[in-house]
A and B are shown apart, each in its own frame.
Chain A
C-alpha cells in the first residue's frame, strides 16, 4: 500500500521567512496530494491540494509543487506569520480514496 514520508519533523523559522516541507510517496497511481494544517486540539483542515496533472498550485502565501517522476511534493509558505505555527500533514490516497498521512511537521514561527 501507499507509504508517505515527511520531512522535517520540526521546523523553526523567524517571522517573514519562508518554510518548506517535503513529502515523498510510494504509489505511482496516486493522483491527489493534499496538505492539512492542524492546530493544537483541533481537526485537520485542508489548506491546499494538487492533482497529478498539475506541477504547481498557489494560493496567496502558500504553494504546493509536485514532481511525479521523483514521487515527491512540497509545501511552501512564504512570509510566515506567528499564526502559521501548527502541525502540517501531507497525505496521499494511493489507489483508493482513503488518505495516508505523513508523520507531520511541527512549524514554529517566532516573532
Chain B
C-alpha cells in the first residue's frame, strides 16, 4: 500500500539555524499538508498546498515558514530561523481528489529539536 514518507526522522538544530523537512506524498495525490504536534498536545494545521500554490495557512505559518514542491515528488517545509518553540513533531499529509474520499494520509513525522 502506498505511504507518505518523510525525512529525516529526527533533526536536531541550533536556534537561529534554517531547517528543511522533506516529504514524499502518495504519488497520485494532489493536496499536500504540513501539521505539527508539540509533545503531548494536539495536532495543529500549518499549511495546505494545491495546484502548486498555498491554498490555506494557519496563524502559526508566519514569514519564518515556507513550502515548496521542487519537483514532481517532493514537498518541503523550510523554517528560516528556528526558535526553541519550533521544537515539535512535524507531519506531512496528502490527499487525493474528493471524489475518491477525503482521507488524509499522514507520514511518520520528523521530530525537530531546537537547542
Instruction: Tell me the A residues contacting B by CB distance below 8 Å.
Output: 32, 34, 36, 42-46, 49, 51, 89, 91, 93, 96-104
Nearest-neighbour CB distance to chain B for A107, whole angstroms, equals 15
Chain B window 80-115, contacts with chain A (Cβ cutoff 8 Å), 1 for yes, 0 for no: 000000000001000100000011111111000000
B44 contacts partner chain A, Cβ-Cβ < 8 Å: yes
B45 cross-chain contacts in A, Cβ below 8 A: 98-101
Chain B binding surface, main DSSP class: strand
New contact pairs (4) apart from A46-B105, A102-B42, CB-CB < 8 Å: A44-B91, A89-B43, A97-B48, A98-B58
A100-B46 Cα distance, complex, nearest whole Å: 10
Instruction: Tell me the B residues contacting A by CB distance below 8 Å.
Output: 31, 33, 35, 41-45, 48, 50, 55-56, 58, 91, 95, 102-109
A43 cross-chain contacts in B, Cβ below 8 A: 91, 106-109
A44-B107 Cα distance, complex, nearest whole Å: 9
Q: Are A101 and B56 in contact (CB under 8 A)?
A: no
A46 cross-chain contacts in B, Cβ below 8 A: 103-105
A103 CB contact (under 8 Å) in B42, B48, B104, B107: B42
